[in-house]
Structure 1
Amino acid sequence: MTVILTGHIDVPADRMEQIRAGLIDHIRLTRAEPGCISFDVTEDPEVQGRFNVAEEFTTPEAFEAHQIRARASDWARISEGIARSYTVTGMPI
């Protein structure tokens, strides 16, 4: 069963450049993870400061490994405190 995360992050104007720069490595590292099918973070063309997020992983275990790695990464530090709104499907209850 694949795990799919969709949603967005809302970035304050004063943090946009830092987030844009941090996303380069975060996307590259995530796409290289075992079990990552797709990982996209794109700026919303209509909502200023919003980045749309879409992720798909092969298994719940691969998704959880991604979460653990991401929490310990530079991205976690760079994006700390940024508002997130996500929906995850495919994880066991």
Structure 2
Amino acid sequence: MRAAILALGLAVMAAPLAAQTGPQTCARMKSEDRLGPLSEAQCQCNYSVANQVLDADIRALLFDAWYSGNDNMAKVEQLRPRHRVRREMLQLRDAIKKYCS
């Protein structure tokens, strides 16, 4: 039951973000000076890789954090199974190194 509620919450949260694209997200991050050392092109590459590598629940939380600046780490840590989240984040890191560096 708890998992169903969490999944529903993520689906509701992801719905408004579905309209946001990588370029829109990265442009917003740039305008709010949240890109750090990344260029806008690197940000868009990272977005594209994350879109391909991550499951929908993790992707929704990550893209929400990137677009809005929300800290979603507590929500990410609640996702189960934990090894799946860790594995996907490592895959994301490796794919970004490979394709976006």
TM class by shorter-chain length? 0.3 to 0.5
Identify the structure with bigger relative contact order (alpha carbons < 8 Å, sequence gap 6+).
1
Structure 1 length-normalised TM: 0.43
Report the TM-score, using the length of structure 2 for normalisation: 0.40
Larger helix fraction of residues? 2
Q: Which has the higher strand share?
A: 1
